[in-house]
A = this chain, B = another copy of it.
Amino acid sequence: MADLDRVIHEPARLLLVALLRKIERADFVFLMNESGLTRGNLSSHLSKLEEAGYVEIEKTYRGKVPLTLIGLTKAGRAAFDNYRKQMNGLLTRAG
């Protein structure tokens, strides 16, 4: 069977994880712009990813304005790589 990681599989999160896979670390607003998600949905998807242990979220300040930094964990990278492998298998097996 195809037991894909549902945390990664959700398109919004897949996009986020793919972004983070490249750039290591990003702030909330950047991810919002890149993904096209609303603040609300970005927040809840990041929470899911955090619960799964796939991202680390650091809350700090840029001057007096709050700044939230997000980065993929080792587990997150591994999960994404594994997902990619499985998905490629599924897609290419279907010549």
A residues contacting B by CB (< 8 A) are: 1-4, 9, 11-12, 14-15, 17-19, 21-22, 35-37, 80, 84, 87-88, 90-91, 93-95
Contacts and interface: CB of A to CB of B under 8 A. Distances in A.
A36 B95 contact: no
B2 A94 contact: no
Given A2-B11, A2-B12, A18 B80 contact: no
A15 B93 CA distance: 10
Contacts of A36: 1
A14 B93 CA distance: 12
Nearest to A93: B18
Contacts of A37: 1
8 contacts: A1-B36, A2-B12, A15-B90, A21-B94, A21-B95, A22-B95, A80-B94, A88-B91
